[in-house]
Amino acid sequence: MIPAHASGSVSGVIDEASPLLRADAVSFSYGSHAVLHDVDVTVPAGGLVGVLGPNGSGKTTLLKLLAGLLTPGAGRVTLDGRDTAGLDRVTIARRLAVVPQETELAFDYSVLEIVLMGRYPHLHAFELEGPADLDIARRMLAATGTADLEQRSFRTLSGGEKQRVILASALAQFESRTTTDDDPGASRVLLLDEPTSSLDLAFQLETAALLGRLNRDHGMTVIVCTHDLNFAAGLCRDLVLLRDRRILAAGPTDAVLTPDTIAAVYDVDADVHRHAVSRQLTVVPLARR
C-alpha cells in the first residue's frame, strides 16, 4: 500500500476502493514557477488525511486544487468520479467546504451572519434564510464552541475565534434543510488549511476532537494541511507528505511517520515514539541536518 518507488513521483494512493476525491496526475504552476508536478492523491469516503510538508512544498496549492479553486495545468481533480472543472460551484459547495488559514472581511458582519453565509448553496436566488437555516447555523456555532459569540462583530474576534466561526460557517454548508436527506454524510469533504495555527492548546485539542467526531460519527471526509506533526499524528489516519513539488510518501500514519521520512521531508533528525500516556505517535525534533 505504501508506495516506495525509488524514483519518480510517489503516488498518494490511500485506498483505491471508493475514491471520493481524487487528484489524478495533477500539475500546477503560478506563471513559470512550478508548484506541484504530477501529483496523485486519492481520498476515500470517510478518510481522515493529513497533508504535511515544508514551507512552499505546495500544501495549500494542493488543497485549492482539491477544492476546485484552482484549475490544474495538467491532470484533473474528480469528486465522486466527476471532474470538478465541469461541476458548478453550488453543487461542489454542498459537498465540499474549505476552512482557509485566515479570513479577513472587507466589511463588518456579525458572527451569525458569517455562519449563515454557509447556507448560500441551499437557498434559491431571492430566498431568505429561514428558521431551518438559523437552526443549523446555531447548531454549528454550538458545535464549534462559539455559540456565545453569535452577536459579536466578526472583526473583533481573536484569531482562534475567527477560525472556529469560519469552521462553523463551512459546516453549515453541508446540512440539508429537509430531513429526507438522500445524500449521506459520508460524501461530504471538509478541507482545512492550518486549522490549529492560531489556536491555543485547549482549542487545538478541542478542534482535533471535533474533526475526529465529524469523521467517526458522521462519516465526514476530512483533509487537513498542517505543520503540526503531533496534531496530524493524533488526528489523521493517513498522511500525504509533500516535498519539492511531489509526494514523497503517503499511507497510514503509523507507517509514514518515521524518522526516515521526516528526515527526507524536513531535513530534520527526529525521534518518533509512541507516547506513554496518550498512546499516540509523538515526534520530537532533535536537530537540523
Q: Which residues in this chain contact other proteins in the complex, by CB under 8 A?
A: 64, 67-69, 71, 88-90, 92-94, 96-98, 100, 103-110, 112-114, 117-118, 120-121, 123, 125, 128-131, 133-134, 150-151, 153, 155, 169-170, 173
Specify the residue, 123 or 264, whose C-beta has the smaller distance to other proteins.
123
Q: Measured from the CB of residue 98, what is the shortest distance to other proteins in angstroms?
A: 4
- Residue 91: Cβ within 10 Å count: 14
Name the residue nearer to other proteins (CB basis): 133 or 194: 133
- Nearest alpha-carbon partner for 166 in 220, 219, 100, 211: 100
Cα–Cα dist 108/117, whole Å:
13
For residue 24, the minimal CB distance to other proteins (Å) is: 21
Please say which residue, 26 or 265, places its beta carbon nearer to other proteins.
26
Report the side by side order of strands in the sheet with 12-13. 12-13, 33-44, 19-30, 74-79, 82-83
**Nearest approach, Cβ of residue 173 and other proteins (Å):** 6
Least Å distance, CB 118 to other proteins, is 6
By beta-carbon proximity to other proteins, the closer residue of 127 and 271 is 127
Cβ contact 258:249 at 8 Å: no
94/246 with CB nearer other proteins: 94
- Smallest gap from Cβ 84 to other proteins, in A, equals 11
Cell triple for 185: 454524510
Cell numbers at 208, concatenated: 482535533
Distances (CA, A) of 57 to 12, 32, 70: 15, 16, 16
